Structure 1
Amino acid sequence: MYESGVPFHSIDNDAFKKLVEAIGQYGQGYCPPSQYLLREPLLKEEVGRTKGLLKKQEEEWARNGCSVMTDGWTDRKRRSIMNFCVNSREGTTFHSSAECSKDSHTGQFIFDYVDKCIEDVGAQNVIQVVTDNAANNMAAAKLLIEKRPNMFWTLCAAHIVDLMLEAIGKEGKFKEWITKAKTLTIFIYAHHWTLALMQKFTKCKDIVRPEVTRFATTFLTLQSLMEKQEKLKHMFTSHEWTQSKWSRKKNGTGAYAIVISRSFWNGVNLCLKVFSPLVKLLQLADGDQKASMGFLYGELQQAKEDIKMAFNNVEINYRSIIEIIETRAKGRLDSPLHMTTYLLNPYYLYKDQSIKDNVMVSDAIFICVEKFFRDDIDKQDQVINMELPKYKEKEGNFGRILAAKGCSENSSSYDPGML
């Protein structure tokens, strides 16, 4: 089997049956392969196959650059583990993992680990390092920028948007409805009888829908409640409910009051209108179907406009929410790298030509070009004074109908990185 060059893991059921039959036909005296033959050569073969799969990604790193991503977490045995991954247009690749339970996670410690990963990947290939915004990561960022001034240290967009949602969710106007929604779902799921009754009326559909982040789960639960509004009302006014012991208990009467309350459902509807644009941004940042960097700043601006519309553009009603978004985004989702990719995404520039005259955007692209081509003035001159004007003015291929048509599609399907 191994000598034939067919990896063991790739054999299907039919082939495996034939293998067993062949062994049986051989009869007594068959000498199975040794543990070494089953383990060592096959392992080496698998390592070689994996390296072959990585080759395409490594070529992409060298051609268009890549991002180094690091994340620390604690496993069930309370061990502290740090993971490193490399992301490019070809996808995300696991690089390495280190147990660091005995180490103090200082900025210097994180920097040393990240820097070693950068050396392994190739410093010339790395454009940015992505982490969350913990204080020790910020200290490591300063050390990295000092050593490698041509790189960016970028904060995880999904983490930032999730923090935005949590902060907004704590606002009085939303906290009340979220708390009541949690009270209702906890009551239903805490008892077998109420859960069975809910599933009867919803045709076995659940309310709680787990997601990657805690607040995304909260949003999906609110969305699910809204979708099942009528079914839940029928449940709490049904004969089964009124005859049950739960209809007379305190937590049961509380759940009933929530479900029949018009103000509760209006509040949930408002929550969804406000949270939906940011959840959409969260899903974009946390997805892996396409490179999201070029859409983050543009979709953040669109999310703010959608939230304003949810309040009928009455500033006094949306002001605190926009302040939360802008405070969390400042220096995190409006970095020079975010602004530059925003400009270089035709999806936005072709719709709004005023972007190219934005002072912040212009400053951002100068910063990026100076970083990318730090010691090459001629290359900086070529990009800023020759190539960029062609793109801004839609000269050559940038002006073709086909180029503009692609940008008119929905941002969820359009990927400028594939052009």
Structure 2
Amino acid sequence: MMLGVVGQFETGLPPPTRYALSDTHLNHEVERTKNLLKKNEQEWKEDGCSIMTDAWSDRKRRIIMNLCVNSKMGTAFLSSKEYWKPSMGFVYGEIEVAKEEIIISLGGNEKAYKPIIDIINKKMKGRLDSSSHLTSYLLNLYYHYKDPQLQYDPDIMNAVLDFFDTLLCNNFMMQRQVVTIDLLKYKKKVDKFGCDLSIKNCRVNDVEFDPASWCGLFGGTPPHLTKIAMMILSLTSSSSGCERNWSMFEGVHTKKRNRLEASKLNNLV
């Protein structure tokens, strides 16, 4: 039937390219798969599910993070994201944001949210609440400007003092300069820290916002603290970039297919 329809246009009709055919059929298959997952999505709502992440780096050293959902019906692939942003300055803050959202979504019912928050806190203890995490949390202007009360939190400030005591353990004069002079300027938004451009530049936490670059641009007044802040905010919090995960992506992203866009990679997987 298809050949008959094509024949009506006589000879000379340019055939569709393999790219046009592959995209069309791939998009149809993606829609079919989404429809098949609707039963899973309903089960996720009724009985709950677990979000799983797995990251690997391709041959170009780009970090790809896969997101999957696991439930009684099995594991389903959601999407993949290129993950390049230095994350140390966001780990503790985003966990705090997640805990607040959990409390709100459960209507502030302590009996409902407390077991979940307790599990999160237990998993964080000794792993994601180190002096480095809390110091980078305070030195990330997105959180500091959003919540000025962070600087008065005793747990955070004790962690910050411990961090500088460890980092500058053999240099008392530098400790004194950074903690009693530079840090106070930062907390009080002195000089460039408090200019309009500085404040507006860190109101939104999106892919364009880089707290380390912000410090390099606006943190010139206290150079010692700025240097330390740029160092810690440029750190990653995961070793996933070093992993070579033998997953489906390894089969898809080969030398012959290394020009595939991320969206097509998602659809193929």
Please give the range of the TM-score, normalised by the shorter of the 2 chains.
Answer: 0.5 to 0.7
Deviation of 1:383 (Å): 0.4
**Other structure's SS at 1:312 match:** coil
Residue aligning to 2:110? 315
Q: Partners of 1:327 and 1:206 in 2: how far apart? A: 40
Residues 340, 368 of structure 1: 8 Å contact kept:
yes
Structure 2 CA distance for partners of 1:398 and 1:332, relative to 1, 3 Å: same
Return the structure number with greater helix share.
Answer: 1
1:306 aligns with 2:104: no
What SS class does the counterpart of residue 30 from structure 2 fall into? Answer: coil
Write the distance in 2 (CA, Å) between the matches of 1:314 and 1:266. Answer: 24
Matched, 1:401 2:196: yes
Structure 2: runs of 5+ lacking an equivalent: 1-24, 54-63, 66-80, 215-269
Deviation (angstroms), 1:271: 7.5
Highest RCO, 1 vs 2 (Cα 8 Å, sep ≥ 6) = 2
Is the 2:85–2:207 Cα contact (8 Å) retained in structure 1? no
| RMSD, aligned CA | 3.3
**Are residue 268 (structure 1) and residue 93 (structure 2) matched?**
no
Deviations along 1:283-340, one digit per CA (max 9) or x if unpaired, are 6xx9652211011100000011122233233222232222211110011111000000
Alignment of 1:47-126 (within 5 A): none
Q: Structure 2: which amino acid aligns with 1:340? A: T
Partner of 1:296: 91
Pairing of 1:334-373 with structure 2 (within 5 A): 334-373=129-168
CA distance in 1, matches of 2:181, 2:47: 48
Quick one: which amino acid aligns to residue 111 of structure 2? I
DSSP-derived class of the 2:201 partner: helix
Per-residue CA deviation, residues 353-372 of structure 1 (Å, 9 max, x unaligned), is: 10000001111111111111
| CA shift digits 1:32-67 (9 cap, x unpaired) | xxxxxxxxxxxxxxxxxxxxxxxxxxxxxxxxxxxx
Cα distance in structure 1, aligned partners of 2:184 and 2:161: 13
Q: C-alpha separation between the residues in 1 aligned to 2:141 and 2:184?
A: 14
SS for the counterpart of 2:146 is coil
* Structure 2 CA distance for partners of 1:321 and 1:303, relative to 1, 3 Å: same
Once the two structures are superposed, the pairs formed by residues 85-234 of structure 1 within 5 Å of their partners are 203-205=28-30, 228=34, 231-232=35-36
In 2, distance between residues paired with 1:296 and 1:340?
Answer: 11
TM-score (norm 2): 0.54
Give the match for residue 387 of structure 1: 182
Which 5+ residue runs of structure 1 have no aligned equivalent?
A: 1-199, 208-224, 234-257
Determine the C-alpha separation between the residues in 1 that align with 2:152 and 2:145: 13
Change (3 A) 1:361 1:347: same
State how many pairs are aligned.
166
CA contact under 8 A between 1:270 and 1:310: conserved in structure 2?
no
CA distance in structure 1 between the aligned counterparts of 2:190 and 2:211, rounded to whole angstroms: 17
- Check 1:275–1:391 CA distance in 2 against 1; reply closer, same or farther (3 A cut): farther
2:69 matched to which residue of 1? Answer: none
2:131, 2:162 within 8 Å by CA — same for their partners in 1?
A: yes
CA shift in 2, pair 1:379/1:405, >3 Å: same
Tell me the percent identity: 33
Residue 209 of structure 2 is matched in structure 1 by 414
Aligned-partner residue type, residue 268 of structure 1: W
The code of the aligned residue for 2:44 comes to V
Counterpart of 2:162 in structure 1: which amino acid?
I
Aligned CA distance change for structure 1 residues 206 and 405 (closer, same or farther; 3 Å): same
Whole-angstrom CA distance in 2 between matches of 1:370 and 1:314:
40
Partner Cα separation in structure 1 for residue 109 and residue 164 of structure 2: 40
SS in 2 for 1:295: helix
Residue type of the partner of 2:170?
D
Describe the SS at the equivalent of 1:350. helix
Aligned partner (choices 110, 119, 122) of residue 327 of structure 1: 122
Partner SS for 2:157: helix
Alpha-carbon offset, residue 414 of structure 1: 1.3
Greater radius of gyration (CA): 1
Alpha carbons of structure 1 residues 376 and 394: separation in structure 2 relative to 1, 3 Å: same
TM-score using structure 1 length: 0.35
Question: Shift of the alpha carbon at 1:266?
Answer: 4.6
Q: Equivalent residue for 1:176?
A: none
Of stretches 409-418 and 327-336 in structure 1, the one that deviates more from structure 2 is 409-418
Structure 1 residue ranges (4+ consecutive) displaced by more than 6 angstroms after TM superposition: none
Residues 366, 271 of structure 1: alpha-carbon distance in 2 compared, 3 angstrom cutoff: farther
